[in-house]
Amino acid sequence: MSRWAVLPALLTLGACADAAEAPVAYRALDCAQPFETQAAALVAQPHLVPAPKDPAEPYRFYSSNDGRTSYLITEAAAPGHPAIMMQQASGSDVVTTGCPYGDKAGYDQLHAYLDGLKHWRRK
């Protein structure tokens, strides 16, 4: 058998491996969309994992499987509600963006809280 006879099989295997390892793209925030519409579209994304609901916290976290993309969606009692925030890992930094649909001062408070979590370390 010629060494070239196995080339098609190797190319097919290589193509399957590349498709299986393709990175997942997550939705960017679009603050022109209504809060409810955008929140529903974000949580409907495949490969997004909801964090367990903490009854003491007035928002929900959803994160990508690899932990590089996270969304925070406020609930009624949250500062700045309604609001949606997104954090994305970029190298060794985490970039926070968001859509302040509600009270700007409350949104700024929520943004500061979320940015503070980036620097938290377990002792």
Domain map of the chain by residue range? 27-117
Q: What is the mean pLDDT of residues 28-49?
A: 96
Q: Is the pLDDT of residue 5 over 60?
A: no
35-63: b (≥16 Cβ within 10 Å) or e: beebbeebeeeeebeeeeeeeeeebbbbb
Q: What is the mean pLDDT of residues 39-55?
A: 94
For 62-111, the pLDDT digits (tens) are: 999 888 999 999 999 999 999 999 999 888 888 999 999 999 999 999 99
pTM reported for the whole predicted model: 0.78
| Average confidence score pLDDT of the chain | 84
Q: Rounded CA gap, 83 and 114, in Å? A: 12
